[in-house]
């Protein structure tokens, strides 16, 4: 590694570090598709300037909103910096937003310009958007509607970008309901990118493989702004991040840094580790021996590391809670994983544990410069996590009531998550306050903990635990291919249930009852499952692959209301 040093932009603004990188790393590769030719930092700077001049030639003024709807690509990066380095406000839109959600974002943000990829144009075609003045095709940055002045583009008007200026307006895809516009300042975003150095030093030799949505704050701050700050190279997949696309990409790029959500590693663990050692009784028996298990995990870890390109030094996992057994595998496999915790409202990082510094199920220590505290802890030290620091948002756009609910007068942000600290100051997340279930004896039940146990079963793809009819109900999506090996004709039974021609037959009911008893034997007295419901389609998820709980709890409330 080239001698690495922490970069501290002054002022804490995006143009401050971007302009430095364009000059400092001019000849270095900046961004590219996996199978493309990288553009250099100098070329990136030139393209950013050209697009910025087009935006201002359309009549935009500092503070105006520029919406960005597209999958990860080099031009996404160009559009992002063209806005944020010149005083405009970027409005990144998640690609999986529905047409109605996209319309809401564009209308509510009052975006004046939209850059949209060809694949997603159908989501905006024909929408009545009175504020929108021009639309660009993101794939080639060509103007689709609107007009530029003849005779060349004037330079971008000189305007000071200040730390307190809004840089991004991000509409969250939350687990608990309608999205809100999070206002992030230049200070918030740049501070997080700067301080992330404490968890992983970087230099211009580092290579990122980026596959999470750039419109999500997690990938945006740590998978774009952080590497650009240090002159790293970033590669994007041209296809959705399936195993078939990821494996050859990792072999070709051989990344040193990747960011992921827990679901990726959980799938690898289930398919390559758990499945192999749960089919036969002898395999299950030897796998239970912790010495044998560690040897198996170490061997599997070496093979996995090789599949990831063989030079990975940082595999960041965030966005949701990592399953305990999967984390144990990563630890025993000596895989270079790191853990982070944060929210869109905190740009996003609040706490983290670097490679080699992780503690099972802990999200690590607070980000340097950020204060975390547990508000009104119970007898177990568990309470709502409150945060304070330069990374906390400015508020929710045009929503003072929602802002007042989460930001105190003295600057503390109520995260809505429950957690506690250990003696060394490491943070442990228990779950969201809104999803916590109060048991009959007044005890707190954290559904995420129960789901973690359920999801470890080889027959289960994913699960959701809710309170219904005075008890806990586990909604489970089954691994049909795996289950049909144990129960005859399950596939046909599920299809029959989908079409509502008939319900589950006796064999499925018997499996559910047997599984419920076996599951309850592994849960404490307060977390006993009353009923199991088998889902006939996958749960809807956020960009960070968390289940949108509100869709399922609200549906149940509507059913009860109709009854």
Sequence-ordered list of residues with C-beta below 8 angstroms from that of 533, at least 6 positions apart, any chain = 473, 474, 475, 476
Average pLDDT over residues 444-464: 87
Do residues 333 and 298 make contact, with C-beta atoms less than 8 angstroms apart? yes
Sequence-ordered list of residues with C-beta below 8 angstroms from that of 3, at least 6 positions apart, any chain = 203
The Cβ-side half-sphere exposure at 66, using a 13 Å CA radius, reads 30
Residue 453 is predicted with a pLDDT of: 86
Contacts for 449-454 with beta carbons within 8 Å, 24 or more apart?
449/527, 450/474, 450/523, 450/527, 450/529, 452/321, 452/323, 452/324, 453/519, 453/522, 453/523, 454/519
Rounded Cα gap, residues 349 and 217, in angstroms: 9
The Cβ-side half-sphere exposure at 289, using a 13 Å CA radius, reads 8
3-state secondary structure of 67: strand
Residue 561 has pLDDT above 50, yes or no: no
Q: What is the pLDDT of residues 352-370, one digit of tens each?
A: 999 999 999 999 999 999 9
Residue 178 is predicted with a pLDDT of: 62
Q: What is the pLDDT of residues 395-442, one digit of tens each?
A: 999 999 999 999 999 999 999 999 999 999 999 999 989 888 877 667
Rounded Cα gap, residues 285 and 519, in angstroms: 19
Sequence-ordered list of residues with C-beta below 8 angstroms from that of 307, at least 6 positions apart, any chain = 247, 250, 251
CATH C-level class of 261-389+408-432: alpha beta
CATH C-level class of 441-562: alpha beta
Residue 327 has pLDDT above 70, yes or no: yes
Do residues 552 and 496 make contact, with C-beta atoms less than 8 angstroms apart? no
Strands (E), 86-230: 89-93, 113-116, 134-137, 142-145, 166-171, 181-185, 207-210
Rounded Cα gap, residues 422 and 243, in angstroms: 37
Residue 185 has pLDDT above 80, yes or no: yes
Residue 486 is predicted with a pLDDT of: 60
State the DSSP string of 162-196: PTTSEEEEEE---SSSS--EEEEEHHHHHHHHHHG
Sheet of strand 134-137, all strands in order from the earlier edge strand to the far edge: 142-145, 134-137, 113-116, 65-69, 89-93, 166-171, 181-185, 395-396
* HEC sequence for 470-485: CEEEEEEEECHHHHCC
Pick from 435, 416, 328, 428: which is nearest to 380 by CA?
428
Rounded Cα gap, residues 341 and 360, in angstroms: 14
Q: What is the pLDDT of residues 226-284, one digit of tens each?
A: 999 999 999 999 988 888 899 999 999 999 999 999 988 988 898 888 877 777 777 88
Residue 176 is predicted with a pLDDT of: 47
Residue 563 is predicted with a pLDDT of: 40
Q: How many helices (H) and strands (E) does the chain have?
A: 18, 26
Strands (E), 202-255: 207-210, 233-236
Please identify which residue in the block is written with the tokens 């000596």. Answer: 334
CATH 3.30.300.30 residue ranges for the chain: 441-562
Rounded Cα gap, residues 207 and 29, in angstroms: 10
Residue 504 is predicted with a pLDDT of: 44
Pick from 70, 73, 24, 9: which is nearest to 47 by CA?
73
Q: Which of the pair, 216 or 159, is modelled with greater confidence?
A: 216
Do residues 365 and 431 make contact, with C-beta atoms less than 8 angstroms apart? no
Confidence of residue 484 (pLDDT cuts 50, 70, 90): low
Residue 2 is predicted with a pLDDT of: 55
Residue 555 has pLDDT above 90, yes or no: no
Do residues 360 and 350 make contact, with C-beta atoms less than 8 angstroms apart? no
Q: Which of the pair, 465 or 493, is modelled with greater confidence?
A: 465
CATH 3.40.50.12780 residue ranges for the chain: 14-226, 261-389+408-432
Residue 391 has pLDDT above 90, yes or no: yes
Sequence-ordered list of residues with C-beta below 8 angstroms from that of 335, at least 6 positions apart, any chain = 301, 304, 305, 315
Element (H, E) at 249: helix 243-253
Tokens of 72: 């990860």
Rounded Cα gap, residues 487 and 509, in angstroms: 11
3-state secondary structure of 398: coil
Tokens of 352: 């983290």
Rounded Cα gap, residues 384 and 376, in angstroms: 7
Rounded Cα gap, residues 368 and 421, in angstroms: 16
Neighbours of 192 (CB within 10 A): 28
Rounded Cα gap, residues 333 and 397, in angstroms: 45
Element (H, E) at 307: helix 290-307
CATH C-level class of 14-226: alpha beta
């Amino acid at each position: 590694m080239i001698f690495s040093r922490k970069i501290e932009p002054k002022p804490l603004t995006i143009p401050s570090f971007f302009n430095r990188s364009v000059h400092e790393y001019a000849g270095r590769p900046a961004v590219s598709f996996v199978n493309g030719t990288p553009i250099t930092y100098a070329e990136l700077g030139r393209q950013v300037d050209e697009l910025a001049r087009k935006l201002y030639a359309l009549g935009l003024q500092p503070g105006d909103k520029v919406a960005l709807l597209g999958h990860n690509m080099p031009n996404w990066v160009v559009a992002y910096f063209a806005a944020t380095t010149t005083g405009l406000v970027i409005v990144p839109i998640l690609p999986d937003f529905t047409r109605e959600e996209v319309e809401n974002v564009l209308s509510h943000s009052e975006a004046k310009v939209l850059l949209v990829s060809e694949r997603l144009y159908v989501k905006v075609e024909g929408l009545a958007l009175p504020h929108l003045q021009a639309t660009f095709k993101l794939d080639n940055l060509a103007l689709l509607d609107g007009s530029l002045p003849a005779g060349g583009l004037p330079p971008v008007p000189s305007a000071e970008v200040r730390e307190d200026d809004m840089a991004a307006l991000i509409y969250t895809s939350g687990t608990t309901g309608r999205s809100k516009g999070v206002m992030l300042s230049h200070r918030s975003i740049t501070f997080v990118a700067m301080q992330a150095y404490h968890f992983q030093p970087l230099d211009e030799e580092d290579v990122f493989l980026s596959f999470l949505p750039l419109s999500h704050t997690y990938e945006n701050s740590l998978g774009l702004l952080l590497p650009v700050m240090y002159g790293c190279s970033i590669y994007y997949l041209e296809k959705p991040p399936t195993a078939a696309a990821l494996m050859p990409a990792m072999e070709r790029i051989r990344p040193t840094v990747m960011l992921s959500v827990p679901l990726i590693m959980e799938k690898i663990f289930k398919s390559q580790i758990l499945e192999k050692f749960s089919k036969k009784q002898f395999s299950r028996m030897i796998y239970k021996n912790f010495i044998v298990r560690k040897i198996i995990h170490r061997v599997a870890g070496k093979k996995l590391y090789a599949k990831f390109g063989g030079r990975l030094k940082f595999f960041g996992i965030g966005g949701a809670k990592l399953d305990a057994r999967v984390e144990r595998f990563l630890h025993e496999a000596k895989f270079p994983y790191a853990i982070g915790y944060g929210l869109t409202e905190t740009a996003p990082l609040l706490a983290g544990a670097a490679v080699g510094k992780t503690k099972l199920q802990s999200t690590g220590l607070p980000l340097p410069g950020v204060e975390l505290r547990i508000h009104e802890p119970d007898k177990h030290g568990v309470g709502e996590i409150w945060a304070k620091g330069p990374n906390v948002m400015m508020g929710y756009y045009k929503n003072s009531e929602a802002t007042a609910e989460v930001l105190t007068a003295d600057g503390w942000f109520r995260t809505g998550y429950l957690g506690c600290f250990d003696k060394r100051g490491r943070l442990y997340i228990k779950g969201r306050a809104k999803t916590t279930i109060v048991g009959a004896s007044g005890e707190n039940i954290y559904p995420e903990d129960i789901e973690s146990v359920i999801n470890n079963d080889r027959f289960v793809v994913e699960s959701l635990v809710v309170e219904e009819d005075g008890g806990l109900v586990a909604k489970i999506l089954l691994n049909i291919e795996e289950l049909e090996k144990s129960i005859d004709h399950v596939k046909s039974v599920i299809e029959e249930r989908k079409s509502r021609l008939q319900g589950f037959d006796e064999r499925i009911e018997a499996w559910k009852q047997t599984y419920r008893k076996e599951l309850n034997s592994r849960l404490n007295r307060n977390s006993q499952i009353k009923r199991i419901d088998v889902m006939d389609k996958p749960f809807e998820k956020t960009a960070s692959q968390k289940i949108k709980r509100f869709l399922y709890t609200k549906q149940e409330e509507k059913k009860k209301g109709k009854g």
